[in-house]
């Protein structure tokens, strides 16, 4: 099942359709009849509706999958029926998005479910997704809002909310090509930020009575300001390593309607009380931040979550 684009791929697909059908492989080519593009979510949903297999294997048009991908992910899907199955990837060009690629390939089994709030998005990336048709329709379809909608993130969040699991086949089964102008970049950062905050509030903060935000800088304050008033009240402190920020003693929420305006203490991370929401980017400080965190002997998914 192929969804053709506007990049000359339709002609290429037509040529391959003949070759594949001669070899006994049926090919359905989907297109959109309206004069307006309907967006990625619509295209993916159409592909699913027009296909008939028990399992769905997603692939972006510019990526390349390895010959053993379907076999290995199918085996995993049988063992994990309510899961989105991903895999490890090789990035091309190799030096593009190095941190992101390391993150995709090295998350532990537990982190596939605990690191779902970060700016990296789904812990198994959409071009590697493999799942049962039954589970896909149980979760619902991709959002068809069109341009500017992070349809894979929203589907992934809904999947998690419905008790879905996340599993990664630890083999490199996809060549993942980087294009600065890819559709991913058309989604406004603010839109994704709002979805992430809402998901964090629903999944984590709703069951916490108090917590500390790790980062007294821009990102930490931005998170605080984005929280609902009820969750803002749960923030007992900001913590940091920066002596200048700690010396200030507290952060005053100037935009607040409340009088007096809320003042939240700023302390050193060693003096802070868990649980933490961490707004520090991973894999960026040559291991300093990670060493500070591991020194506290905390458990991810219980004592802290990353929201970097």
CA-to-CA distance for 54 and 133, rounded, in angstroms?
Answer: 5
Residue 23 lies in a domain: no
- Domain total in the chain: 2
Are 183 and 213 part of one and the same domain? no
CATH code for the domain of 173? 3.90.550.10
What pLDDT, on the 0 to 100 scale, is given for residue 187? Answer: 75
61 and 168, same domain (yes or no): yes
pLDDT at 1: 66
Burial class for 221, CB neighbours closer than 10 Å (0-12, 13-18, 19+)? middle
Its domain, for residue 102, covers 38-187
Identify whether 203 is part of a domain. no
pTM: 0.93
pLDDT digits (tens, 9 = 90+) for 48-81: 999 999 999 999 988 999 999 999 999 999 999 9
59 and 136, same structural domain?
yes
155, 187, 219 - which closes a domain: 187
Q: What is the pairing mode between strands 276-278 and 211-214?
A: parallel
Summarize the confidence of residues 150-178 as an average pLDDT.
97
83 shares its domain with 159: yes
Query: What DSSP state is assigned to residue 286?
Result: T
Whether 55 is covered by a domain: the verdict is yes
User: Residue 16 domain-assigned?
Assistant: no
Same domain, 171 and 227: no
Say whether both 172 and 227 belong to one domain: no
Same domain, 220 and 145: no
Q: What pLDDT was estimated at residue 177?
A: 95
pLDDT tens per residue, range 5-31: 556 778 888 899 999 999 999 888 877
What's the average model confidence in pLDDT over 180-204?
85
Q: Give counts: helices (H), strands (E), the chain.
A: 12, 13
The reply to whether 230 and 179 lie within a common domain is no
Considering the domain architecture, whether residues 51 and 99 belong to the same structural domain is answered as yes
Measured CA to CA, the distance from residue 266 to residue 36 in angstroms comes to: 51
């Amino acid at each position: 099942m192929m969804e053709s684009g506007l990049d000359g791929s339709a002609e290429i697909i037509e040529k391959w359709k003949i070759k594949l059908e001669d070899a006994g492989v049926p090919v359905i080519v989907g297109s959109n009849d309206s004069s307006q593009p309907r967006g990625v979510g619509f295209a993916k949903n159409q592909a699913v509706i027009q296909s008939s297999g028990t399992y769905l294997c997603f692939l972006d048009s510019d990526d390349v999958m390895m010959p053993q991908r379907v076999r290995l992910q199918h085996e995993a899907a049988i063992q994990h029926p309510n899961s989105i199955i991903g895999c490890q990837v090789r990035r091309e060009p190799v030096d593009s998005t190095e941190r992101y690629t390391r993150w995709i390939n090295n998350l532990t089994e537990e982190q596939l479910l605990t690191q779902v709030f970060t700016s990296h998005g789904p812990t198994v990336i959409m071009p590697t997704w493999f799942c049962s048709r039954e589970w896909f329709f149980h979760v619902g379809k991709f959002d068809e809002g069109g341009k500017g909608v992070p349809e894979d993130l929203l589907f992934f969040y809904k999947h998690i909310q419905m008790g879905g699991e996340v599993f990664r086949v630890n083999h490199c089964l996809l060549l993942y090509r980087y294009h600065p102008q890819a559709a991913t970049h058309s989604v406004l950062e603010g839109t994704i930020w709002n979805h992430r905050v809402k998901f964090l509030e629903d999944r984590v903060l709703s069951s916490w009575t108090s917590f500390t935000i790790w980062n007294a800088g821009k990102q930490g304050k931005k998170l605080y300001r984005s929280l609902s008033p009820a969750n803002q009240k749960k923030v007992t402190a900001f913590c940091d390593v920066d002596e200048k920020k700690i010396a200030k003693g507290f952060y005053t929420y100037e935009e607040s309607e409340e009088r007096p305006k809320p003042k939240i203490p700023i302390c050193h991370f060693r003096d802070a009380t868990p649980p933490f929401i961490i707004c520090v980017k991973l894999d960026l400080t040559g291991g300093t931040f990670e060493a500070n965190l591991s020194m506290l002997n905390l458990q991810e998914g219980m004592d802290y979550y990353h929201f970097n």
